[in-house]
Amino acid sequence: MANSHSQPTVGIVIPAAGRGTRAGDGCQKAYRRLGGDTVINRTLRLFRSWDQTCAIVIVHHADDNSLLQASVDLDENIYTTIGGAERGASVLAGLRFLAGLKASPSHVFIHDAARPFASVHLLDQVYDSIVKDPSIGVIPGLAVADTLKRTDSHGLITATVPRDGLFRAQTPQAFDLQTILEVHEQAAVSGTSYTDDASLFEEQGLPVRVVAGESDNIKLTYKEDFDQAERFLKSNLLPTPPAPVPDIRVGHGYDTHRLVPGEEITLCGVKIPHKSTLLGHSDADVGLHALTNAFLGSIAADDIGSHFSDTDPRWRGVSSDKFLQHAATLVAEAGGLYRDVMRQSVAAIVGLHPSRVSVKAGTNEKIGFVGREEGIVAFATATVVFPSS
């Protein structure tokens, strides 16, 4: 991309807040690996190879912050913000963020996170069209080659649609930033539905030009698309970075509390009616205490007693989920993604799907202080994956 004070400046908005799980593997498609790199990072590298300093705004789902941080190579001009439930709300969030930057660009490219194979040549074509006329929107498109048929609800053909002048729209779609921001704001107020950003321009009677798209600029949506992408990578012998080796750590936790006469036992955040209760300074939740120690162990931190002393009156009778949340925060601040250990209550506390959590119980074959029902002992294991450094 050429740089000149007389030419338009460009920022990039990449909406990636959708769930996009139709491609399978239970993972948002932008974070799936493709030839040793994530889809979204390939998209970022495309724009960075085109312009090393332009502002890029990634609009992601609120639940995906840790996943995003582990999936992309960020720099000082790559920003992240939270998107909405629908694509329109996410694009609007990205446009607002971009317009609010101190050095706000004159124009914006809006590009699907799941289109990693656009070329620098395509970006140049879109940019050159903006240079030619900054007020006209630009989209890449492929002329429709197949005969088009319209059918009724029973699948019977009712008409043949002339294909002359028909194009399949692609991204990046480029616009004057303030103009596209205004039409998105209007659409948000009116509740207007649309299929792409250019359609908002069209609805307002604003001109949009089509430049030649690329057959390789596919949008990865289904499993078949990923299979095609893998074949594309192999056939083009594109250099792909080796998959980073994650820093995987395992923390083990242990805790035990004495059983005394009472009315209920709290285990893993769940209160269970019982003739006994666990003796302790807090709620004596032996399960969460063991898991807290496991989390702390994964980052080589001191044990639970160092963080929540049993001589400190602040922790008397406190629910143990506070301890586990504290440990989970320390792990997250260290850059980790945690998984594997307890279940429903634990999953809710640390932000995991219950399928990632397991709880088991045993009677210790009726021997020892556990078998005699004098106390409970808990063991926990937490596997924490840190991004490679």
Give the CATH number of the domain where residue 265 resides: 3.30.1330.50
Q: Are 221 and 114 in contact (CB under 8 A)?
A: yes
151-175 as b/e, with b when 16 or more CB fall inside 10 Å?
eeeeeeeeeeeeeeeeeebbbbbbb
Q: For residue 89, is it within any domain? A: yes
Whether 190 and 77 map to the same domain: the answer is yes
User: pLDDT (tens digit, 9 = 90+) per residue, 196-235?
Assistant: 999 999 999 999 999 999 999 999 888 888 888 888 787 7
Whether 265 and 172 map to the same domain: the answer is no
Query: Whose CA is closest to 281, among 252, 299, 255, 253?
Result: 255
User: pLDDT (tens digit, 9 = 90+) per residue, 42-92?
Assistant: 999 999 999 999 999 999 998 888 888 888 888 999 999 999 888 999 999
Q: For residue 289, is it within any domain? A: yes
Whether 20 and 106 map to the same domain: the answer is yes
Q: 236, 264, 296: which is the final residue of a domain?
A: 236
Q: For residue 241, is it within any domain? A: no
Q: 208, 236, 264: which is the final residue of a domain?
A: 236
In this predicted structure, what is the pLDDT of residue 387? Answer: 64
Q: Are 200 and 194 in contact (CB under 8 A)?
A: yes
Whether 83 and 150 map to the same domain: the answer is yes
Give the CATH number of the domain where residue 186 resides: 3.90.550.10
- Alpha carbon distance 143, 187 (integer Å): 28
In this predicted structure, what is the pLDDT of residue 5? Answer: 47
Q: For residue 105, is it within any domain? A: yes
Whether 137 and 275 map to the same domain: the answer is no
In this predicted structure, what is the pLDDT of residue 4? Answer: 43
What total number of domains does the chain contain?
2
This prediction's pTM: 0.61
Which regions of the chain are under pLDDT 50?
Answer: 2-5, 23, 339-342
Residues 6+ apart with CB under 8 A from 25: 32
- Alpha carbon distance 64, 16 (integer Å): 10
Q: 236, 266, 290: which is the final residue of a domain?
A: 236
Whether 180 and 301 map to the same domain: the answer is no
Whether 197 and 251 map to the same domain: the answer is no
Whether 262 and 310 map to the same domain: the answer is yes
Provide φ and ψ at 342, rounded to 5°. -25, -120
Q: For residue 157, is it within any domain? A: yes
Whether 189 and 251 map to the same domain: the answer is no
In this predicted structure, what is the pLDDT of residue 65? Answer: 84
When the pLDDT of each residue in the chain is averaged and rounded to a whole number, the result is 83
In which residue are the tokens 């406190």 written? 318
Whether 230 and 255 map to the same domain: the answer is no
- Alpha carbon distance 354, 381 (integer Å): 16
Helix, strand, coil percentages in the chain from 3-state DSSP, rounded to 5? 35, 25, 40
Q: How many Cβ atoms are within 10 Å of 265's Cβ, its own excluded?
A: 22
Helix (H, G, I), strand (E, B) or coil at 140: strand
Domain hosting residue 21, numbered range: 10-236
Whether 184 and 104 map to the same domain: the answer is yes
* The token pair that represents 275 in the structure block: 């003739």
Residues 6+ apart with CB under 8 A from 96: 181
Whether 138 and 174 map to the same domain: the answer is yes
**252 forms bridges with which residues in the sheet?**
381
In this predicted structure, what is the pLDDT of residue 67? Answer: 83
